[in-house]
Amino acid sequence: MTQRLRFAPSPTGFLHVGGARTALYNWLYARKQNGVFVLRIEDTDVQRSSQEMVDVILNSLQWLGLNWDEGPYFQSQRFDLYRNTAYQLVLDGKAYRCFCKPDELNARREAGMKATGSWKYERVCYTLSKDQVESKMGAGESYAIRFFVPEGRTTFQDLVHGEISLANEQVEDFVLLRSDRFPTYHLSVVVDDIDMKITQVIRGDDHISNTPKQIMLYAALGAKHPEFAHLPLILGADKKRLSKRHGSVAVEEYRNQGILPEALDNFLALLGWNPGDEREIMSAEELTKEFDLGRVNSSNAVFDLKKLQWMNGKYISSVPLDRLLQLLDPFLPDPTWKQNPDFTKWVELMRTRAVTLAELATMLGPFLQDEFPYDPAGLEKAKKDPAALQLLKEYAPSISEVDPWDHKTLEAHLRKFTEAHSVKPAVLIHPIRMAISGKTAGPGLFELIELTGPQKTIARLNRFLQQQ
């Protein structure tokens, strides 16, 4: 049997990392099983859903490389199917019309909670006779349709958590169709999963409490329920549920910071799952080959932003140069930088130091423009060593004598110069780096000087000395 999985986001907001991980796990499972990955947009909340958010979700999935085989299907285009199913359940005696008004329900709920600390719907309308129901309908009273929860116990084998069981008496008769004729989540998701022949449902832990209700509904509709796998939550470093206070949580934001899609995929895959060994950097092909729900940890995962940045840095260092230049393009503050004949050389030199594309673009600035700021702390440190600055004044003109202009000869020249002045090379390395790049750290100093060229190097040394 063909394995069919689905990702079903609600277009009421951006695609956050939790949803992205869910989509990724469904995609990986489908690809490993040579199955089908279905995209379904659950937009039954018409007031909060928007086409803008649909577009953002689709773009985010495409950017992550999570291509779908079917869809996107829209629940808002399937309302008749849900309504017909609800009414059929009424005819089958598995659901009933509920005429209770919201304010009445709220009052009874508050009274019950105050008296006993708990409350569930008392099946007031289930006991109405056929004549009473017809009378209320004839009078134009609005009603919802509630599912009649049968006696017994609902048990299922979760692919992550193992066996989960719940006494049905703990579940109230839940609403399938609201009085405004809009379906609830439980009805629409079950009808869709049956209609789309979904075989596995991989979703977040927050849906575990929904699962027994939905399994009852599958049974009432004469359908076999899919296998369920509920993923642990993603927490921030403070072990609280991931939110904006922990930094960016939407895929779009990470994209805008310069995180590579393959790095985010790799990082998200390892949030709660591992390949069974110490590997951390894994391609999409490797992730697909190794993915196994049996290795998903049932405990919550912790989102480590520094780990994501480290991983992204590894991808920036290794991605083919042509693709890196293409990815970097939107982050360049000045498109004319690309006209510099040494642009690609600077990218190659600096790529190993950056953890995001935005940071890489910032690092390139000092080498592709003549005016750039100096690191304040580094500048202050240089001012505290007037002897080194005086020595730098002598060194600046001597560098024009270097031939050939390559990093090995430049290093030998500096060592010979400092030896002649009875000081260590480190005395000049800090101020020279500040003069060349405005930074206190970076790639090899002599590689920087080589690429900067003699004319610009001397000019930058003189510019730096004028700041003192």
β-pairing, 95-98 vs 70-74, is unpaired
How many angstroms separate the first and last alpha carbons of the chain? Answer: 76
Per DSSP (E only), the strands in 60-120 are 70-74, 95-98
Q: Identify whether the C-beta of residue 61 lies closer than 8 Å to the C-beta of residue 72.
A: no
Residue in this structure with the two tokens 């899919």, named with its chain if needed: 226
Question: Is 244 a catalytic site residue?
Answer: yes
* 165-173 long-range Cβ contacts below 8 angstroms, 24+ apart: 166/212, 168/212, 168/216, 171/120, 171/212, 171/213, 171/216, 172/120, 172/121, 173/96, 173/98, 173/121, 173/123, 173/126, 173/146, 173/147, 173/148, 173/149
Alpha carbon distance 3, 267 (integer Å): 25
Among residues 240, 244, 383, 408, which one is catalytic? 244
Cα 129 to Cα 96, 124, 135, 366, 385: the distances in Å are 11, 11, 10, 82, 96
Specify which residues 203 forms β-bridges with. 230
Q: Which amino acid is at 322?
A: D
Q: Which amino acid is at 164?
A: I
Three-state secondary structure call for residue 282: coil
Alpha carbon distance 192, 73 (integer Å): 10
Burial 88-100 (b: 16+ CB within 10 A, else e): ebbeeebbbbbbb
Active site residues: 244
